[in-house]
A and B are shown apart, each in its own frame.
Chain A
């Protein structure tokens, strides 16, 4: 009796495994399915409640320091703003004279970071703004210094999951500011963040700024990405690689801004 029961129990486990594998494959294959996305949204919303008490306590400790910092930054920003306003109006006038089309403008949705999940392969975090607040899938995300943070990859009514720039599957079209060359920024394990296939004669030096090119619908142009840190030597080739240090400090992110096209 006992010997007969062992194989049956083994087949029962195998049958369970096959059902679980089949379900997993269905989930993998139907990533865009609305029911699946709704379920994901529910899980993301539920998880946000876990972070609320932590966030409240954290806010109590940091609010005064944040306020002082913000005041200083506000004054500095006000001075810069006055300078830029003059430049913007001049630029707009000149663009109109040359017949350029108007640039896309964006609204900013402020959001608190609820969780962050960093691993060697994926980097993402949840924020407390979702579709009810106007967040859209694939919307770009920046930090308080308007530096690139990532994009929205999943949304629920009250929360969103942000894929960070330092996620290994993240790609973004960028422009190097000195040479004005455009390339795709990606991550490689040995060299870090790289812009590949930059023309050999492009004048790029360490310290140059790298910004988004605006060639995608996700990110507008001129969002700061980082600085050039190194240029790979060119050996009998027509192109070179440019190494980039990201500007955003992901360990200190507490709030971000989600871009929304006007």
Chain B
């Protein structure tokens, strides 16, 4: 119970950080998603169910605060990512590092495909533009931030 409260509070702080300071990290208009990193972290190290529901609630709140098109899409995407990350809970340390990176990339791609592709469905942009100018930069940038955070957490734990 304490764990749930602790991670809910931490999730809210990450959400506020994303909402208020996310743009500080913007490079050429590409902003990383700290929320998805947090959900992946919860899924991999805590509980799959917690990751699903934290993803749903935090996703709904960020949608309510920012979404101009589909309310609920981030909730859906974060729940799915929470579930996927939870499959590898506690097993991730036994997986070779390159495969870990591939898994993280997969989680991020699932999240950004769901949020970016659907939010841009009416934008008249070509699929190629969406993939190469939005989806890939966002995924790679968030993967970079995720790797840095995971390294810091590992060093901190040691």
Contacts and interface: CB of A to CB of B under 8 A. Distances in A.
B56 A117 contact: no
A67 B53 CA distance: 48
Contact of B60 (A27, A50, A118, A189): A27
Interface stretch (A12-20, A80-88, A234-242): A12-20
A161 B68 contact: yes
Given A13-B52, A20-B55, A117-B19, A169 B75 contact: no
B36 interface: no
- Interface range on chain B (Cβ under 8 Å from partner): 35 or more
Main secondary structure of the interface of B (DSSP, over half): helix
A28 B72 contact: yes
Interface of A: 12-14, 16-17, 20-21, 23-28, 31, 36, 39-40, 43-44, 47, 50-51, 115-124, 126, 153-154, 161, 163, 167-169, 186-190
B29 interface: yes
Contacts of B82: 17
Contacts of B56: 20, 23-24
Nearest to A12: B49
A260 B80 CA distance: 41
Interface string B42-82: 00000011001101100111001111111111011001101
Given A39-B64, A43-B64, A188 B124 contact: yes
Contacts of B23: 116-118
Contacts of B80: 17, 21
Contacts of A118: 23, 26, 29, 31
With a 10 A CB-CB cut-off, give which of A47, A163, A167 has the most chain B CB atoms: A47
A44 B60 CA distance: 12
Name the residue in A23, A115, A189 with the highest tally of chain B Cβ atoms < 10 Å from its Cβ. Answer: A189
B49 A16 contact: yes
A261 B63 CA distance: 29
B31 A28 contact: no
* Central interface residue in B120, B133, B138, by most chain A CB within 10 Å: B120
B145 interface: no
B129 interface: yes
A260 B116 CA distance: 33
A181 B126 CA distance: 27
Contacts of B72: 24-28, 31
Interface centre among A23, A50, A169 (most CB of B within 10 A): A169
B110 interface: no
A168 B133 CA distance: 13
Given A31-B70, A190-B129, A17 B64 contact: no
A169 B48 CA distance: 34
Interface in B105-123: 115-116, 119-120, 122-123
B134 interface: yes
Nearest to A166: B29
Query: Across chains A and B, which 9 residue pairs bring their CB atoms closest together, nearest first?
Result: A27-B72, A24-B76, A20-B79, A163-B68, A28-B72, A43-B64, A17-B83, A13-B48, A40-B64
